[in-house]
Amino acid sequence: MTFIALAKPMGNAPESPTGRCSRATVTGFPCGGGMALLDRLPLLSLNDAGLGMPWGVRMPLSGHTSKGLLMKHLLFGTTALVAASIVAGGANAQAKPAEKIKLGVGGYFQAYFVAGDEDDAAPSGVIPAQPGYARRSHGIKREAEVIFSGKTTLDNGIDVGVNIQLEAESCADIIDESYIFVEGSFGRIEAGAINSAPYRMHYAPPNPSGSSAFGLNSPNIRVLQPGTNQTLAVGLPSTYQNLTSDAEKISYYTPRLAGFQLGISYTPDNCEEGAVGSSTGNNCGGSYSGFQGDEEIGQQTEVFEIGVNYVGKIMAVDVAASLGYGKGNLENNIRAAAFTAGGGTVIAAGALAAGGQSFNPTGATLAADSLDDREEYGIGLNLSYMGFTIGGAYRYDNLGTDSGHPLDDHKVWSVAGRYVWGPWGIGVQYTHAETSFRSGNILNNAGAVAYTNVGGEDELDAFEVGLTYQLGPGILLATGIQFWSLDASNGNVNRVANTATDALVAENDATIFYFGTSISF
C-alpha cells in the first residue's frame, strides 16, 4: 500500500454556485421591449445552502441522538489529537526557521458572448407569457474572483495557511470563501466559510467547456429562463452536494491511503459570518453577535457531512470515484394548515403559504408537518485513458420537506465525455433533473380547497457540445451550444400556484450559444 501524507482534498469541484456573485448572472438576458424582468422564482425559501423554509413550530430535537453525539465526539476527538500533535511535533524540525505567512494573488476571469432562442410567446387573455417573453437574444456574461492565499511551514514541519476569495463584482456577499488550514502527516484541518468535504471531494463528469463557466453541472453562467420550473428553483442542475454551501464549519481530511481519502465536516449553524448578505442566504451576524438562536423556523443545524474518494489506476485506466452524504437537523417546524396570514389566492414561490393558503395532503384529517431534517447523498466516477475522459454522477436531495409540503424531493444525474489532444479539446454532456410534487389539496384562508395538486414532476433535460483551445498558460478559448428542455409532466394541475395556466410558465425550450475565454492567474 502507498501512504501519501499530503491531505488536501482532491476532486473536480468548481467554485460553489452560492458563493458566486453571479447569482445575478444566472438570471439570463436583460429585458427588452420595456418589459419588467421576469425574475426567476426560487423554491420556497429553500436556498442553495440548504437552509430550509421560514415557517415552523418547535419539533423534537431529532439531531440530539446517540448517532449525532457519536459523530460530534469523533470529529472533536480527531481535532484534539491533531492539535496535540501540532504542539508536540518536533521530530520533523527543519533547518530553516518558520516565516510569517506571505499572501500571493491568484484567481480567474471568465468572459463570454452568449446568444440564444427561448419560448417567448406574449401573454394573451388569461394565458401568461412564456419564460423568454420580452427578453433580448444576446449579451455579455462574466464571472471572476481574486484569491489571496499563502502558507508557512512551522519548525515542526506542519503547514499553516489562509485563503480569502474576493468577488470581482458588486454584491451583498463580496467575500466568497475565507478559511484557514493546518496540514501535516496527520491530515488536514480547515475552518471557516468553505464548502463541505463531500462537495470538495466529489468527481463530476468532465465539462465540455473546459472550465466552470458553462457546462450542465453547476456552471458559473446559466442563460435560459426557468420560469416557475422547480428543477432550477432548487438551484443549478448539480451533482455536487451543497447542503451547507459556504457556512461556517470545520472539516478534517485524512491522509490518502492506498488511493482512498476520507473527509468529514461539521456545521453548527447553517449560516455565514457577517451582518450583510451571505452565500448561504443566512447570516451568523458579526463578531459581537454571540451564539445563534436554536429555534429558528426552517433552519438546519448541527449538520454532519462525510465524503470519501478514490484516485488510482486499474491497468492503464485512471480512475477517480467519490461518494458523499450529509444530514441536517431541523430546529423548528410548522404544521402547514396553521398558516393563515395574507389574503391573496396564489402560493408564491419562496413561501409555502404566501397569500394565506396552505397545503393539506390528500386523505389527511389534519395537516402534516411541512418540514423535516434535510438529507443529501451523491456519487461520481471518472475514467480516463489516452486523452479520453468519461464520467457520470448522481445526487439525491429530500429538500428538507415532510408530508405536509407540496414539494417532495429532487434528483439529478449527469453523464459526459471529453477528448483532449494537444491544445484542443472537445466534449459532450447530458444532464437530467427532476423535482417531485406530493398529492394534496391547496387550502385558502377559510380552510376550503382552492385546488388539488395531483403530484408528478417538473423535469429538466439538457445537452451540450463544447470545443476548447488552450491559447496559452492559463488562457482557454471555448465555444459551444446548449439545448435545454423544461417540462411540467402533469400539465396544468401539478403546479404550486392557484392558476390553471401556471404550467405554461414552467415549460421552456431554449438553444444557447456561447463563445469566450476563461483566464486563470
The pLDDT tens digits of the residues spanning 480-509 come to 999 999 988 654 444 444 444 566 778 899
Give the integer Cα–Cα distance in Å for 326 and 378.
9
Quick check: 287 pLDDT over 80?
Answer: no
Query: pLDDT: is 133 or 488 the higher one?
Result: 133
Sorted by where each begins, the domain ranges of the chain are 3-520
Which residue type occupies 231?
A: T
Q: How many residues are given for the chain?
A: 521
Percent of the chain scoring above 70 in pLDDT:
68
What is the arithmetic mean of pLDDT over 240-252? 95
Class of residue 145 by CB neighbours under 10 A (exposed 0-12, middle 13-18, buried 19+): buried
Percent of the chain scoring above 90 in pLDDT:
50
In sequence order, what are the residues at sequence separation of 6 or more whose Cβ sits closer than 8 angstroms to the Cβ of residue 97? Answer: 155
Under the banding of pLDDT at 50, 70 and 90, the label for residue 362 is low
User: How far is CA 404 from each of CA 141, 407, 440, 448, 452, rounded to the nearest angstrom?
Assistant: 40, 9, 9, 16, 14
In sequence order, what are the residues at sequence separation of 6 or more whose Cβ sits closer than 8 angstroms to the Cβ of residue 456? Answer: 436, 437, 488, 489, 490, 494
Under the banding of pLDDT at 50, 70 and 90, the label for residue 406 is confident
Query: Of the given ranges (135-149, 348-362, 421-435), which has the lowest mean pLDDT?
Result: 348-362
Give helix then strand counts, H and E, for the chain. 3, 23
Quick check: 192 pLDDT over 60?
Answer: yes
Quick check: 462 pLDDT over 50?
Answer: yes
In sequence order, what are the residues at sequence separation of 6 or more whose Cβ sits closer than 8 angstroms to the Cβ of residue 172? Answer: 276, 277, 278
The pLDDT tens digits of the residues spanning 250-261 come to 999 999 999 999
Quick check: 7 pLDDT over 50?
Answer: yes
Under the banding of pLDDT at 50, 70 and 90, the label for residue 292 is confident
User: Domain 3-520 falls in which CATH fold?
Assistant: Porin (2.40.160)
What is the arithmetic mean of pLDDT over 409-415? 96
Secondary structure (DSSP) of 338-367: G------S---TT-TTTTT-EEEETT-SSP
- Inter-residue contact 326 to 395 (CB < 8 Å): no
| Predicted local confidence at residue 347, as pLDDT | 35
pTM across the whole model: 0.80
What is the arithmetic mean of pLDDT over 268-282? 68
3-state secondary structure of 426: strand
Class of residue 291 by CB neighbours under 10 A (exposed 0-12, middle 13-18, buried 19+): exposed
What is the arithmetic mean of pLDDT over 129-154? 95
| Predicted local confidence at residue 405, as pLDDT | 75
